[in-house]
Amino acid sequence: MKKIPLLIIILSLQIPFALAEDGYRLWLRYDCVDNNAVLSTYRKQIKGFKVEGNSPTLSLVRTELEQGLAGLLGINVPQSNSVSASIVVAGTSKSSEINKLNLDARLKNLGREGFLILTTTVKGKKLIVITAPEEIGVLYGTFHFLKLLQTHQPIENLDIESSPRINLRILNHWDNLDRTVERGYAGFSLWDWHKLPDYIDPRYHDYARANASIGINGTVVTNVNANARVLSSHYLEKVAALADVFRPYGIKIYLTARFSAPIELGGLKTADPIDETVQQWWKDKVKEIYTHIPDFGGFLVKANSEGQPGPQNYNRNHADGANMLADAVAPFNGIVMWRAFVYDDKVPDDRAKQAYSEFKPLDGTFRKNVLVQVKNGAIDFQPREPFHPLFGAMPDTPLMMEFQLTQEYTGFSTHLVYLANQFKECLDADTHAKGAGSTVAKVIDGSLDNHQLSGIAGVTNIGNDRNWTGHPFAQSNWYAFGRLAWDHQLSAQQIADEWIRMTFTNNPGFINPVKEIMDKSWETTISYMTPLGLHHIMGWSHHYGPAPWIKDKHRADWTSVYYHQASKDGVGFNRSATGSNAIAQYAEPVAKLFGSRDQCPEEFLLWFHHAGWNEKLKSGQTLWEELCRHYYGGAETVNSFQQQWATLEGKIDKERFEQVKMLLNIQYKEAIWWRNACVLYFQTFSGLPIPHGLEQPENSLQYYLNLEFPYAPGIRPQW
């Protein structure tokens, strides 16, 4: 009986499931290239591969090339023991074959994570070389090379140098030890603490692989609303097991430190950061952590915010608290990421000012291994916020960006919202801290103020749902965060193009309309949720759906009316010089721009100004008319997304097509809900009719006021 090659058997087994997609593979789909001309060219250019070295990381490189090339080329691509023509050679500059190429001059400036991909000729043999100063760079380069094949790029004359612009590229998991996820909309936590350390879910490896493929090099596995128990010996063994999985992928593990842990775990009577017994407790605990996890990254801390304990409980400041922990981890090259998202129990004149007020005076007082982690905006991950005034205001302190990938305020995992445009708007914003061109990106990558330590964090949208993120398109925000963390100069459109090709298809008949949907999606969401600078008008506590009427809670700044300040005269929070004067926290050119009613960009109008209902905007329409047209236009654009998506049936797998179709139906219904509820509510103040030509809401305002959602997903636990 004739033997059938194993690869053919494997491929034949896959054929019945070729169109059965559940999204688990994310953007790492190594299906055979479906363009015959491109496939034929690749097969001629790649006859084999060789990886020099057998370390855990280089073993991953070998496996990735073996699986990636076999899948994408649809044939067995053999490993070669020698260097022959048309093979891929991967290894560090120290490997024997690559060392012969004399690439040291090119590699020396790439840093420990950078890589070089080069088409070259050696003794008449044309080779594709993937190399780097360190092994992790070879892994990053391997993923990049396979991405070229996935996206049908030419590979005959490669010369690619790439290094990350930001040192620390970290995911923040708001995962609790009971596996619930605060603001999580994709199932429960990945981390099965009950079974760790002895059971290693294969998904841990797949998670690490996905992160390595986009250059993410760190993960904080526990919630910023921290539980001290994770620092106990029992849990450190579990954390160590995860760290062992992540290490070959270049990913360090970090933990959130509950400031009161010395009391809760250590039995001390105080957690005062200047108390010597407290300092010693942390030093001993850190030493214990490093015995379990030799490459432990350090701590992320939320302190004196939303009820979390911190140094202010003892009349100390944030630098006192951060420096105590920094001193404990410094001997092990650890870092402390101290969050600037703070507001106390006293309601300020403007919550947007508080972080600046508390941290600006501390500039230059933090230890050198401390980063202050700042949200992109001063309130709380709103659909759109002006950049946080702290960016550019603390030149003597490394500032770290915090973006939110999980869609707490942008429709959870039922709305298609591509957030790369939001990230780019913030990163490209000019702080004018040192003149024109002092962008937020230059602040956080350290180049503006010559900081060697730099970082960026993304609050994850990852859960144990089969497709990781709940919505298939929510995967794009994870991907986009990683790509921008590596290179913030990439455009949102370029990243979307990559992601669509890798995740779905290279068919331009699918790529172009989907890229258009993605590109419009963020602005569309703003239009039907919080147009013209409105903010924080979501549902109470769970933040699901519209609730601009929220008032009379135990904190004014946890209500909607605090932020929109609607009255018969108009709407909007006056942060100009005649109001809270929050504009004074920005550099003068920015303060002047935002503070001027006439010059303020209209997308931030109601963020900085209280405007009259009949005031004319640039369109020539009144504020009321423009507000209505944003709400109605946003909902109708979602309807156009539905129509565009319907035309794509048959261009991708049925499973994901149908899933997105159903989710767009939900999004459209909820966009109408947002539109109707907000227009009817604000109409009670404006007293003006809905503009001619726009349909009347089908329900009364009272109907929307009566809606309740006690089991909305992602609700924050009560402490």
3-state secondary structure of 654: helix
State yes or no: is 569 an active-site residue: no
Residues 6+ apart with CB under 8 A from 445: 165, 166, 454, 488
Question: Any idea which architecture 168-499 has in CATH?
Answer: Alpha-Beta Barrel (3.20)
Mean per-residue pLDDT for 219-239? 98
With a cut of 50, say whether residue 6 has pLDDT above it: no
- Clarify whether 288 is annotated catalytic: no
Q: Residue for token digits 């074959």?
A: 97
User: Which tokens is 105 given?
Assistant: 């001059």
Indicate the DSSP class of residue 149: H
Within 13 Å of residue 653, how many CA atoms lie on the same side as its CB?
A: 15
What number is the average pLDDT over the span 155-164?
98
Q: Give me the pLDDT at residue 81, please.
A: 85
CATH topology of domain 527-573+610-705: Alpha-d-glucuronidase, C-terminal Domain (3.90.1330)
Dihedral sign for Cα 154, 69, 504, 170, please: negative
What's the per-residue H, E or C state across 611-644? EECCCECCCCCEHHHHHHHHHHHHHHHHHHHHHH
CA-CA distance, 16 to 13, in Å (whole number)? 7
Mean pLDDT along residues 173-184 = 98
For the chain, which residues make up each domain, given as ranges? 25-162, 168-499, 527-573+610-705
Which residues share a beta bridge with 336?
Answer: 299, 370
Q: What is the C-alpha R_g of the chain?
A: 26
Residue 410 is classified by DSSP as T
pLDDT exceeds 80 at position 407? yes
Instruction: Tell me the two tokens of residue 11.
Output: 């491929």
User: Tens digits of per-residue pLDDT, 24-72?
Assistant: 999 999 999 999 999 999 999 999 999 999 999 999 999 999 999 999 9
Q: How do residues 254-308 score in pLDDT, each as one tens digit?
A: 999 999 999 999 999 999 999 999 999 999 999 999 999 999 999 999 999 999 9
Instruction: List the one residue out of 544, 545, 600 whose CA is nearest residue 572.
Output: 600
| Pairing label, strands 125-132, 115-122 | antiparallel
The active-site residue out of 408, 430, 465, 670 is 408
CATH class of 25-162: alpha beta
State the average pLDDT for the chain: 95
User: Do the bridges between strand 611-612 and strand 570-571 make them parallel or antiparallel, or are there none, so unpaired?
Assistant: antiparallel
| CA dist., res. 68 & res. 154, Å (int) | 17
Q: Residue 669 has what pLDDT?
A: 98
Catalytic residue among 97, 306, 487, 602: 306
* Angstrom distance (rounded) from CA 220 to CA 234: 18
Res. 445 pLDDT band, cuts 50 70 90: very high
pTM score of the predicted model: 0.96
Residue 4 has pLDDT above 70, yes or no: no
Q: Using CA atoms, how far apart are residues 184 and 651, in angstroms rounded to an integer? A: 31
Residue 124: the pLDDT is 87
For residue 596, what are the contacts with CB-CB under 8 A and spacing of at least 6? Answer: none
In residues, how long is the chain? 719
**How many whole angstroms separate alpha carbon 657 and alpha carbon 23?**
11
Does a cis peptide bond (omega within 30 degrees of 0) precede residue 294? Answer: no
How far is C-alpha 118 from the chain's CA centre?
A: 31
pLDDT of 344 > 80? The answer is no
Confidence of residue 123 (pLDDT cuts 50, 70, 90): confident
Q: Determine the pLDDT at residue 392.
A: 97
User: Could you tell me how far CA 35 lies from the centroid of its own chain?
Assistant: 33
465-510: pLDDT as tens digits:
999 999 999 999 999 999 999 999 999 999 999 999 999 999 999 9
Is 192 part of the annotated catalytic residue set? no
Residue 5 pLDDT greater than 60, yes or no: no
Strand blocks (E) in 447-583: 455-459, 570-571
What DSSP assignment string belongs to 506-524? --HHHHHHHHHHHHHHHHH
pLDDT band at residue 345 using 50, 70 and 90 as cut-offs: low
- 541, 500, 454, 536: which is closest to 660 by C-alpha? 500
pLDDT at 1 over 90: no
Q: Is pLDDT at 342 greater than 90 in this prediction?
A: yes
Residue 10: pLDDT over 70: no
Residue 256 phi, psi (nearest 5): -85, 135
pLDDT in tens, 649-667: 999 999 999 999 999 999 9
Give the count of beta carbons closer than 10 Å to the beta carbon of residue 231. 25
Token pair listed for 661: 């179709």
